[in-house]
A and B are shown apart, each in its own frame.
Chain A
């Protein structure tokens, strides 16, 4: 069956450290993968997109990797801050279905000062 799995437990880290969130998928072949941030009571906000032929993508303190062999994406936040505390969702882009997004359940990140 098709699955997208993100860390089910919350990730608690100390301010200044690097947070690493994992997204694993099975029985999908996405050409693209996106990461979103969701704060309580709000809709998700787009952060980064990475293509299947890109190994790594960076944006300020954010870095995303995409390994289509392992079927895994890693999302890193360097020099983390309490304001980075939120739920982070990965989403696979299924172009064969008109760019439909399939979301993981998300990982809660808590950065403590």
Chain B
């Protein structure tokens, strides 16, 4: 089937506006992750959904960031009152949710966010 998809691929917004980024995971994958990657940097963990468990929000940098996962499938990452430092590529990944450490992640192409 299709891989992880994200939309939009690019988003340019003005400082102070709200943005929503969408992720469609691979069908059947119970785990979904959001990461942020700044230019030349590694992946910064933001939030993790696993099945019906409470999400792990420990990586969200501020209360301007929130995410939802509806029906165990599609996820939306919302950034309120965007700041210039929010400019980055936002990557979504999903995984089958296998027990043990052998659960590998499948990444989408990312959304490049530019805050002017």
Contacts and interface: CB of A to CB of B under 8 A. Distances in A.
A, B from the same assembly: yes
A44 B108 CA distance: 8
Interface stretch (B12-20, B43-51, B61-69, B76-84): B43-51
A77 interface: no
A31 B101 contact: yes
A46 B106 contact: yes
Interface string A76-113: 00000000000001000101011111111110000000
Given A98-B48, A98-B50, A46 B105 contact: yes
A49 interface: yes
Contact of B101 (A45, A46, A89, A95): A95
B108 A43 contact: yes
Among A4, A34, A89, A101, the most chain B Cβ lie within 10 Å of the Cβ of A101
**Chain A interface size range:** 20 to 34
Interface residues of B, number: 27
B72 interface: no
A98 B56 contact: yes
Nearest to B110: A43
B71 interface: no
A61 interface: no
B104 A106 contact: no
A46 B96 CA distance: 14
Interface of B: 4, 31, 33, 35, 40-43, 45, 48, 50, 53, 56, 91, 93, 95, 100-110
28 contacts: A30-B101, A34-B104, A42-B107, A42-B109, A43-B4, A43-B108, A43-B109, A43-B110, A44-B105, A44-B107, A45-B107, A46-B105, A46-B106, A49-B104, A89-B42, A89-B43, A97-B56, A98-B53, A98-B56, A99-B95, A99-B103, A101-B33, A101-B105, A103-B45, A104-B42, A105-B40, A105-B41, A105-B42
Interface of A: 4, 30-32, 34, 41-46, 49, 51, 89, 93, 95, 97-106
